Chain A
């Protein structure tokens, strides 16, 4: 549905996007993740036909965005980083105008605008001037604008930026609902957002793709070894470490913290080997109390930092 092939974009001497390629299947929600200046907005601008690529191609809904821009744009809804609102227009007039230039048939415009305003929860500001809206409402009107012509492809540049927590949850739910019928690319800095809304993640840094995978696989893949968190209640704390170390498969035990008789340990084991049963029996057979035993996962945050920090890039 969306295909990006060897896309490069240079602004004079700066290379904003450097030879990136990826695909998004129909109905998929793809998260575009990267630190500031990574090239997310630039890529989206090429995909929406706002700027031409320096090299490479982008195909959206079966049309090359550069060779057949009108056809591609008809099928794309776009929420730019800054919602493109006309301050002197009321929200309703603005949406009517947008539905007109997006070729929504005349007879359907009114109903469509009403429906989208309900869906993005902006009906209460329908008669307000766009210039007088708060940041969060501007963002929601921007989202409404992108959905008006019911496009096959949605490109959302930081759709939840500036929203309050309740709105963030609602917007994520909306995006999830939209996935399936629509093919969506959204960019964000917020990692939980990706694991909550996206089936796949593209992590980019300095214009290059550093990883493409599902959030679960990324988490798993980067967990070189398995780490367990074990909390033990033992009369002599000093014995705990040796006891856990003795379990077959365990490579390393770190006692992170002790409080009274309770030791909090992080146990590393060979990857692919599940040592939970052995750990449990090692503790229980000595008559100690096993208070907690759970796998520690590398959070998406850690992966992100791992992938986008300088010295790791050399590995």
Chain B
């Protein structure tokens, strides 16, 4: 465990030593703020309509009409920011030769991968922490339910974990961080639009594609439902990606 923490700590420090941490956190704060204001404006309108009885929605709910869509929008932010977080994790170590230090130290490959994953996840958690401010406003001026908010954050953390583990795997395949970043973005995009494609397909394919979509599984979390089905999906997605990363690092050794 100490080894994992040592790597995670080192990763986190290097994020903050480079502009990446600031870009990622700043960018997500701006984008999130923008979503927040738009949805708030929209919510304000529908609640006024409802209040005036103009045939709008019958009931107005902060959780369903504001917080849930807000959480779902976060996936857009992740699409752009998380490739920046993972692109250099392995690529840069390979390019600069520091991977030789890690692989000749008394660490297992799994510890290194876990450490890097944990480092990325911590940075991501810092990104999410910024959004807590907006939530604070809603709790201060409104009366939302806290359960869907908590489960929503859990869902976001897990969804980000999926993106991070996938990005880590892609980074382990190349020594060029730019290539790693672009491929990661393309793959994220694929997982993100997969349920749009699903709408053009037959019912069976649709179900399969929806199941595969990383973002689709977030819906229930934002509604306050922590379903084992989704938990299993996210956790096994992360475990499988990390496993692939370990395999990639090991097979690289054999090829030399």
Question: Contacts A84-B101, A85-B98, A89-B17 known; A97 to B256 CB distance under 8 Å?
Answer: no
Question: Contacts A51-B253, A52-B254, A87-B96 known; A98 to B104 CB distance under 8 Å?
Answer: no
Decide if A86 touches B107 in the complex (CB within 8 Å). no
Shortest distance from the beta carbon of B94 to any chain A beta carbon, whole Å: 11
When A and B form their complex, what is the total count of cross-chain residue pairs whose Cβ atoms lie within 8 Å? 71
B3, CB-defined interface residue at 8 Å? yes
**Complex partner residue of B101 from A9, A45, A145, CB under 8 angstroms:** A145
Q: How far is the CA of A88 from the CA of B14 in the complex (A)?
A: 7
Q: How far is the CA of A88 from the CA of B18 in the complex (A)?
A: 8
Interface size on B, residues (CB 8 A): 27
Which residues of chain A from 47 to 78 have a CB within 8 Å of any chain B CB? Answer: 48-52, 70-71, 73-74, 76, 78
Question: Contacts A50-B103, A51-B256 known; A84 to B98 CB distance under 8 Å?
Answer: yes
Decide if B17 touches A88 in the complex (CB within 8 Å). yes
Decide if A50 touches B104 in the complex (CB within 8 Å). yes
Shortest distance from the beta carbon of B11 to any chain A beta carbon, whole Å: 11
Q: How far is the CA of A52 from the CA of B99 in the complex (A)?
A: 15
A112, CB-defined interface residue at 8 Å? no
Shortest distance from the beta carbon of A78 to any chain B beta carbon, whole Å: 5
B97, CB-defined interface residue at 8 Å? yes
Decide if A50 touches B106 in the complex (CB within 8 Å). no
Shortest distance from the beta carbon of B59 to any chain A beta carbon, whole Å: 53
Decide if A70 touches B253 in the complex (CB within 8 Å). no
A100, CB-defined interface residue at 8 Å? yes
Nearest A residue to B109, CB-CB: A69
B10, CB-defined interface residue at 8 Å? yes
Shortest distance from the beta carbon of A8 to any chain B beta carbon, whole Å: 13
Q: How far is the CA of A71 from the CA of B108 in the complex (A)?
A: 11
B147, CB-defined interface residue at 8 Å? no
Nearest B residue to A77, CB-CB: B104
B134, CB-defined interface residue at 8 Å? no
**Complex partner residue of A89 from B13, B104, B255, CB under 8 angstroms:** B13
Chain B residues in 8 Å Cβ range of A71:
106
Decide if A49 touches B104 in the complex (CB within 8 Å). yes
Of A9, A71, A87, most B-chain CB atoms within 10 Å:
A87
Contacts from A to B (Cβ < 8 Å): 9, 11, 45, 48-52, 70-71, 73-74, 76, 78, 80, 82, 84-89, 93, 97-98, 100-103, 145
Nearest 9 pairs of A and B residues by beta carbon:
A84-B101, A88-B17, A73-B106, A48-B104, A84-B98, A100-B6, A74-B106, A82-B97, A101-B105
